[in-house]
Amino acid sequence: MRFVVTGGLGHIGSRLIRFLPQRFPGAEVVVLDNMATQRYPSLFNLPDGGRYRFIEADATTVDLRPVLEGAHAVVNLAAITDAAGSFANREKVERDNYGITERVALACVEVGAPLITASSTSVYGTQKSRVDEDCDASDLKPQSPYAETKLREEALVAGLAADKGLRATIFRYGTIFGVSPGMRFHTAVNKFCWQAVLGQKLTVWRTAYDQMRPYLDLGDAVEAIAFAVERDMFDARVYNVVTSNHTVRDVVEGIRAHVPSLEVTFVDERIMNQLSYEVDNTRLLAAGFVVKGSLRQGLADTIALLRNMNGGTA
């Protein structure tokens, strides 16, 4: 099988490109990345069992058709992913994220390649306590420019599926946690683990401490991609991909189990998203997907990986 992964050196991509040959032995994995984040180590020690080809190129400008030709699946992960930072970067997020998704999707239409594209559960902005893929449109109130753009990307892909026959799957990912060669540390779980191991105080918004949010184990994220390919699940529907829902308190106490000396400072500044809600992965579970990850294990793995940089203690 032949896979193309855009943004393949990032947090999800660097784990995915190692996982695909395990699930699909002998697979050809084409990795396209512009190296903007300089995650060179994501290409180190690639496993046996797959055939790799790396293309250093910008998906906003490169001719994608010859790259995507013959792909059994194109996984579009190329994006600026910092939701909080997108307020100061609105135009670039719109240009790059929407622009890349549009170019990749149109190229998939031209060459007849199926597409799996990454969206985000941050598109929800509901006052309800729980929400799933069948929610009312009024429950889709993105709280950042990043999330606004993701919702527009979803509409674009759905429109191309209806009008141009694009075979696609749209995954709304929860907040990612877990270990990978290209992992990032600006999201809550990984950032808190980093700070805790370094002996730094965690700064938490008081009003957010008991707010529910959807989280996604990295293992479940890549398993879902393989699941969609195996089931030929390119039906242009939206699927929430979530391991479990947790509060910030859950995350903090989970870290404290490994770092008993952890200190937390509460602040009262206004936060980006004041809402609290849980996201159900009803549709994906109904299709037969089994969630295997856990926040507890993800925290343990991340802290274990980081401990050596601080003398093996924390």
Could you state, in order of their start, the residue ranges of all structural domains in the chain? Answer: 2-176+217-241, 177-213+244-278+293-310
CA dihedral sign, ordered 293, 299, 300, 306: positive
**104-126 average pLDDT score:** 95
- Answer yes or no: is pLDDT of 273 > 90: no
- H-helix or E-strand spanning residue 91: helix 90-93
- Tokens 């069992």 correspond to what residue? 49
Other Cβ atoms less than 10 A from the Cβ of 86: the count is: 21
Q: How far apart are CA 117 and CA 172, in angstroms?
A: 9
Q: How far apart are CA 232 and CA 72, in angstroms?
A: 10
Same fold, 2-176+217-241 and 177-213+244-278+293-310: no
pLDDT for position 287: 97
Determine phi and psi for 164, rounding to 5 degrees: -120, 0
Tell me the pTM. Answer: 0.93
Q: pLDDT digit string (tens) for 219-272?
A: 999 999 999 999 999 999 999 999 999 999 999 999 999 999 999 999 986 555
**Spatial contact of 228 and 258, defined as CB atoms under 8 Å apart:** no
Q: Tokens at residue 271, please?
A: 């936060």
Read off the pLDDT band of 138 (50, 70, 90): confident
pLDDT for position 186: 83
172 forms bridges with which residues in the sheet? Answer: 119, 240
Q: How far apart are CA 71 and CA 83, in angstroms?
A: 30
Q: pLDDT digit string (tens) for 202-214?
A: 999 888 899 999 9
pLDDT for position 93: 75
Least confident of 38-42, 81-85, 119-123, 266-270: 81-85
- Answer yes or no: is pLDDT of 217 > 60: yes
Read off the pLDDT band of 87 (50, 70, 90): low
CATH of domain 2-176+217-241: 3.40.50.720
Spatial CA neighbour of 67 closest among 24, 17, 104, 23: 104
pLDDT for position 63: 97
Question: What is the domain class of 177-213+244-278+293-310 according to CATH?
Answer: alpha beta
